[in-house]
Chain A
Amino acid sequence: MNIYKLGIKNALSNPLSTMLSIVLMLLSIGLISLMFQVTRQLDNKLAGNIRGIDMVLGAKGSPLQLVLSSVLHVDAPTGNINFGEAKKIARNPLVKQGIPVSYGDNYKGFRILGTEKSFLELYRAETEEGRIWEKPFEVVVGALAAERLQLKVGSTFSGSHGLMENSAEHHDHHPLTVVGVLKPTNTVADQLIICNLESVWLVHEHGHDDHGTESGKAEQGEEPHEHQEEEGEHPHEHDEGHDHDHEHEHDHGQVPDEDREITSMLIKFKNPMGMVSLPRMINDNTNMQAALPNYEIERLSTLLSAGSRAIAFIAAVIMLVSAISIFVNLYKAVRERKYEMALLRTYGASRGQLLLAVMVEGLVIGITGFLAGIIFSRLGMLVLGSYVEESYRYALGNAGIMKEEIFLFIFTVILTIFATIMAAVPVFYLNVSKILAEDD
């Protein structure tokens, strides 16, 4: 038996008020820590996804929507743009690189993205297994998508139209074959199914045919094979086409690439000058729009920060209330226990020892509340993470113990000690002789 145990036993002897203080502490710490976690994770995620993309070229509409859909892959696209026109912009001397992306299908909620191989380089995605696509209808799968969808090299599946999971229309006649699985990159690449542009175009050509003639007709079952063979050589020709003149591209297929449509083009500038002149030029002179991801995300964060500030404010108020509750409970306990305290003094306890006992009692509450709050925030992250993943296929990882949380811990301890000392003031003015002489 010692002073520390006495403090703990005292805390336990008042289970209701101790619980109340702990729950208040738990709520405030949980909210604050949850906010730290979410902000940190989103910032990391956003920064990783935007890295290397200075501008997005897409159909007119909301620039934020364009960034959300084409860079972060969470929203619906604004529409399509002409590939030829986009390429013209990409040839501007201020542009270092333009990566076309085209999408509109999903497989069980994971987006199927048609693009060029440079997209993988942008996110530094390497294959964990297998190889990168060579032909239409060959896909590589991001790490998260592969894990969730149980896809391996050699698996085949058919996408369905639209970006939501439950779309009724399936492209059953165009099975896609997995040829590679990507290593985790902690970017959007993890949750995408990636193929070349032709795959997307071809799927939709037939999709439209299907619309014309009632879907599921027996004679069309053969068609994909023909096309696959026809277009088999296509990518190679296409690659050359990029570097040389257009005439080349007009030579093959039914529709020349220039007349095809893509959803958007991700653009990296050679130097910051591009940021100044190009977006304006595009917005004024073309029927496309240019959106700057950094600017749009900044705008989004500003919008969201009002919400997170409100949560932070509420959390701070709860924290204050929990400190007051610790103070009130201890103050009441100290007054109720003044006989015990006087008695302990007669047994040789110093004021310091009595103060220590009260402090231990307060810290039991504060630290338990803090730990419970951290556990609460981790559980919250799990729930929130699974919700976010469910709706957006975004995986929020676990950031572990953050530096901010260590500061939060120190702050909690200081606040608790302060509340405790305030509550323990009567200990110093304890008139032992008077209390013991009183009849209660």
Chain B
Amino acid sequence: MALKRYVVGCFDDEEVLFPAVKKVRNAGYKIQDVYTPFPVHGLDHALGMRETSLHTAGFIYGILGTTTALAGMGWVFTKDWPMNIGGKPNFPLPAFIPIVFELTVLFAAVGMVMTFCYLCQLAPFVRKHHFHPRATDDLFVMAIECTDRTNVEDLKGFLQSAGAKEVSYQVAESGWWFGRYDVEPKLYREENPVIG
């Protein structure tokens, strides 16, 4: 894990945020992410993010569930322990369909949730740096990663001209670490230098 340098701009209005995202990207800065209090339609397109492959993963998990159910029940009722149930064949497909359906849904749902948690690095005790606590309340927080050539003061001015209400410079862990928010309260006492 490495420490990285960020310039963080906070916006309080979607209408300002979208043109700002466009301006920042056109100026060649690399936006790490935009943290919003609620899902914002079209922001992923504005940020130029690749379409998620989560649904493809879901499809594969579903197929996996289908085959697991069919193979499992098929093996049990034809090879392992054949039983005569109501005179039906040993591999009664219609009777299996509801279970096949359920397992398909179960695999797809659980698999997608776990994949989502993995992709977002969400797990108990996993901690990540919060750029601004109000990102969960009423601010749209844009984090821009600084490179060696980034002039921090220029970037701050640029963000302010794009409509940012608060601008700050933060050095933060880019990845995640183990910890607990209640025993590590430093995050909320952290005071960022505010300009303007």
Do A and B actually bind? no
| Chain B residues within 8 Å of A, Cβ to Cβ | none
| Chain A residues within 8 Å of B, Cβ to Cβ | none
